Amino acid sequence: MKIAIIGTGYVGLVTAVCFADMGHTVVGTDVVPEKIDKASRGIPHIYEPGLEELLKKNLKKGNLTFIHDLDEAIRSSDVLFVSVNTPQWKDGSADMVYVEGVARRIAENLNSYKVIVEKSTVPVKTSMWIKRTIDMHKKKDEEFDVASNPEFLREGSAVYDFLNPDRVVIGVESERARDILVKIYQKFKDRLLVTNIDTAELIKHASNSFLALKISYINLISELCEKTEADVELVARGMGLDPRIGGQFLKAGLGYGGSCFPKDIRALTRIGEDLGVNFDLLKESDKVNLRRIDVFMDKIKKALWIMKDKIIAVWGLSFKPETDDIREAPSIKVIKRLLKGGASLRLYDPKAMENVKQVFPEKSSQVYYAKSPYEAAEKANALLIITDWDEFKKLDMKKIKKLMANPIILDGRNIYEPSRIRELGFEYYSIGRE
């Protein structure tokens, strides 16, 4: 049984490499030639812990290949995992144009029975459209099945998550497809949840939206903490000790970014609207999340008064630690506003600077990319912490204080203990606590 991974982005590349590591024969393909060229040479086009080593290991083993030719990848494989992007459309719904494009190519190249597996996050009922598209365009009267296998990995721990899943959800409507997918995931047979396709599709959107809701909830609580003497870190701990609530995803901060939560919560809202179910609950979560940047900007204004001609150090540009991904990163929104206010910025991130340079080119006189967090802090009137990279928790803060013009820290992720950082002489502002 040969597996094709169509779309080798953050999810597809990890899926290809991990399936190969699980012993399957895998071919990966993508419309962006550089991604395939790099992967073939053992170089991932993204930063993801552990991915490069695993990619190299499995290329060497010989059961993992990457090819440019989508038609060939389809024809030569039995199971096709579709992991192309499903971005947000103007009205908030998921744009399925890439999925539809792939479905048509599969139809044109259907030369034997195949299982087409939705790995991308797609609206409930997408499988019906994929089936219809393939039926409309197929050239040979071959059989096929569509199945759903949503992915729950997190960027920054994607390889670990893929190889240690909490659950593997498989949505099928035939025994034949079920048996094939159960065999592929044999290693995780104790964690399989087999459902119908609508259910599997909905589990993904429902999970992401619930997690996003949880983050917005604690962020709203943090706003209340700021108006009282309560400390959001302790409120979250106190809540999380109840196993019915759980301590994860209760970290207040600058809100959720990334390529998934913002778009998925809007997509589910639209699905609800289309099917006559009101999801204003999720719209509120979105609003709370968007407001996080305003709340943070207000703090900066309170600390600095005027932005013009201030030198501001910014630590952390990726949307979360351990990734180079800057899609929907809070840093981008904050930087835009700081630049508009006339500040000069000294930016630092362990992995995401090359991606940020595409948005804010180096040649701008207002933007400087520093080689280290120390260099970023030089002569700064304030230091902003946007992403909670571990690196920032282990720095010599006495040295940072000496380097800065004014020792003011605005910590959007609560990485320091307020009393300890203030003892060092910093003016320190964080989220939802004194």
Residue 261 binding ligand UGA, by CB under 6 A: yes
Token digits of residue 309: 């001609």
**SS3 (DSSP) at 62:** coil
Q: Considering the complex, state which of residue 169 and residue 303 has its C-beta at the smaller distance from ligand NAD.
A: 169
Q: Which residues contact 201 (CB under 8 A, 6 or more apart)?
A: 118, 122, 123, 124, 125, 126, 127, 148, 150, 171
Least separation in angstroms between CB 267 and ligand NAD: 9
> Active site residue: 153, 158, 184, 260, which one?
260
By DSSP bridging, strand 344-348 and strand 311-315 are parallel
CA nearest 320: which of 363, 343, 291, 349? 349
Q: Report what 279 binds from ligand NAD, ligand UGA, none; CB cut-off 5-8 Å by kind.
A: none
The yes-or-no answer on residue 18 being catalytic is no
Q: Report what 6 binds from ligand NAD, ligand UGA, none; CB cut-off 5-8 Å by kind.
A: ligand NAD
Among 80, 153, 332, 431, binds ligand UGA (CB under 6 A): 153
Residue 265 binding ligand UGA, by CB under 6 A: no
Give the footprint of ligand NAD on this chain (CB under 6 A).
6-12, 29-32, 35, 70, 83-86, 98, 101-102, 120-121, 151, 153, 155, 259-260
Residue 411 binding ligand UGA, by CB under 6 A: no
Q: Considering the complex, state which of residue 2 and residue 154 has its C-beta at the smaller distance from ligand UGA.
A: 154
Least separation in angstroms between CB 143 and ligand UGA: 31
Query: What's the 3-state SS for 124-143?
Result: CCHHHHHHHHHHHHCCCCCC
CA nearest 37: which of 45, 46, 49? 45
Q: Considering the complex, state which of residue 105 and residue 333 has its C-beta at the smaller distance from ligand UGA.
A: 333
Q: How many CA atoms lie within 13 A of 78 on its CB side?
A: 9
Among 35, 178, 310, 320, binds ligand UGA (CB under 6 A): 320
Among 4, 215, 326, 382, binds ligand UGA (CB under 6 A): 215
Residues 158, 26: Cα–Cα separation, whole Å = 18
Residue 211 binding ligand UGA, by CB under 6 A: yes
Least separation in angstroms between CB 32 and ligand NAD: 4
Q: Which residue has the tokens 């959720």?
A: 256
Least separation in angstroms between CB 182 and ligand UGA: 21
**CA 187 vs CA 21, 23, 162, 237, 317: distances in Å:** 12, 10, 12, 35, 37
**CA 40 vs CA 4, 8, 74, 245, 280: distances in Å:** 15, 12, 18, 44, 46
Least separation in angstroms between CB 270 and ligand UGA: 17
Q: Report what 102 binds from ligand UGA, ligand NAD, none; CB cut-off 5-8 Å by kind.
A: ligand NAD
**CA 32 vs CA 35, 39, 69, 266, 325: distances in Å:** 6, 11, 11, 27, 17
| Binding region for ligand UGA (CB under 6 A) | 121, 151-155, 208, 211, 215, 249-251, 253, 256-258, 260-261, 319-320
- Catalytic positions, written as ranges: 260
